[in-house]
Amino acid sequence: MSHVIVLSGLMALLEDLRPGPIKSYNYLKEKKYLSNLMSKRILLVGGGSGGHVFPLIAVAEALRTADAGVELLVLGNGPFLADAVTAAGLPYKTVKAGKLRRYFSFWTFLAPFQAIIGFFQSLWILFVYMPDAIFTKGGYTSIMPSFVARLYFIPVYTHESDSVPGLANKVISKVAKTVFTSFESTAKYFSPRPDGRGKPGKAILVGNPVRPELLTGDKAVALQQFNFLADKKTILVTGGSQGAKRINEAILESLVQLVQQFQVIHQCGDSQYENVKTVVDQYTKEGENSYGPMISANYRLYPFLNPQDMGMAYSVTDIIISRGGASNLFEIASLGKPAIIIPLSTSASRGDQIDNANEFHKYGAVVIEEANITPHIIVNQIQELLEPTRYAEVSAKIKTFAKPNAAQNIAQILLQ
């Protein structure tokens, strides 16, 4: 049946090109009729870091909850995506993509060829699967599938996590039916031109999808899992799924001070785990007659926390130290946890985390630039946030930033 839809679409296109009338199927009417005979089939496209992958899975889970018969397929690339979607029980196919880099690299020469391969892969995969809609999380992986979907008359929905959209979503928005946004300020990038020309705005504010298991950790079980005390304040440090070198360095510089006052859960990233562990082991040995036992008792180091373990960590945490990725911020807001945000600098990014952090700062989060991190500032800011009156105020204010039904709202629109 799916291929009848393609034939209908092609015949409709021929009708536009020929000078004389031609009898053809009404594509939109045909597709609507056929869609009513079966459950929706949705293609989910993404890849890269956890900030793109986990919201994609959150939407997939919301779709399954809303319609148990929905058919889903994830399209993307990268080992992180493959592992995450496999763990979530989602079918998966890979597609090549040409990434635009901000620095010179050998891979820059290969990007056009990867993009061409990705186009033809997308052409075939979408022809065979023929979804009712395609939902993307932006990023360079999503560009070719989105344009191919347009060729097949498949509606494209994309989600922009950051307050200022990236290049990929600016491109995808040209063929998208709807752009879901996390921040209210993002809508202006997808609105009509100031002179009134152009199509109506495509943006719908929904927030950033958050996986439910991140918000439902059992504190009593988590205290046993981390071997922590219930009456001692706990700090969670995370640089995202890939870690953050400068944050790791700052925590190591502050470690002796931190463990004397707090319990610390530290997700440092797979690539930096061995280096961080070596330094921690050295500190523990050097302070074996003083602060060493406190490090052993009050500090837990992990290369990466899966969603279930992160949910447990969130449940025992009082203060979160994090990067400025949108996924991190919306998880923090959903929990109502006061936070210290250390965004990635413009020397290593397009500045999106700084823009996100500045928006989050309006809701009470502390923002510290990488260049200004010192052990004194970190410890001092934690102590100030833990002052009972301020803690309650910041917690309540941060929670107003949350949009806990983002995934469900996206799923509802995709299933219409």
Q: Is 311 annotated as a binding residue?
A: no
State yes or no: 211 annotated in a binding site. Answer: yes
225/403 Cα distance (integer angstroms):
29
Question: What is the phi/psi pair of residue 338, to 5°?
Answer: -55, 145
Ranges of H-type helices in 38-137: 50-66, 79-87, 106-129
Dihedral class, residue 66 (left if φ above 0, else alpha if ψ from -120 to 50, else beta): alpha
The neighbouring-strand residues paired with 405 are none
Flag whether 408 is marked binding.
Answer: no
3-class state of residue 158 by DSSP: strand
The region that residue 148 occupies, defined by phi over 0 for left and psi between -120 and 50 for alpha, beta otherwise, is alpha
Residue 269 annotated as binding site = no
Contact between 109 and 129 (Cβ < 8 Å): no
How far apart (Å, rounded) are the C-alpha atoms in residues 393 and 399? 10
Would the annotation count 163 as a binding residue? Answer: no
Burial class (CB in 10 A: 0-12, 13-18, 19+), 348: middle
Compute how many other C-beta atoms are within 10 angstroms of the C-beta atom of residue 389.
Answer: 7
**Which residues have a Cβ under 8 Å from the Cβ of 42 and sit 6 or more positions away?**
63, 70, 71, 72, 73, 131, 132, 133, 134, 135, 414
Rounded CA separation 327/329 (Å):
5
* Amino acid, res. 216: T
Backbone φ and ψ for 362, nearest 5 degrees, come out as -60, -20
140: Cβ–Cβ under 8 A, 6 or more apart, which residues? 97, 98, 99, 100, 168
Residue 410, number of CB atoms within 10 A of its CB: 24
Residue 394 tokens, joined: 């910041």
Q: How far is CA 137 from the centre of its chain?
A: 8
Do the annotations mark residue 353 as ligand-binding?
yes
Terminal-to-terminal C-alpha distance of the chain: 19
Known binding residues: 49-51, 211, 241, 353
Annotation: binding site for UDP-N-acetyl-alpha-D-glucosamine: 49-51, 211, 241, 353
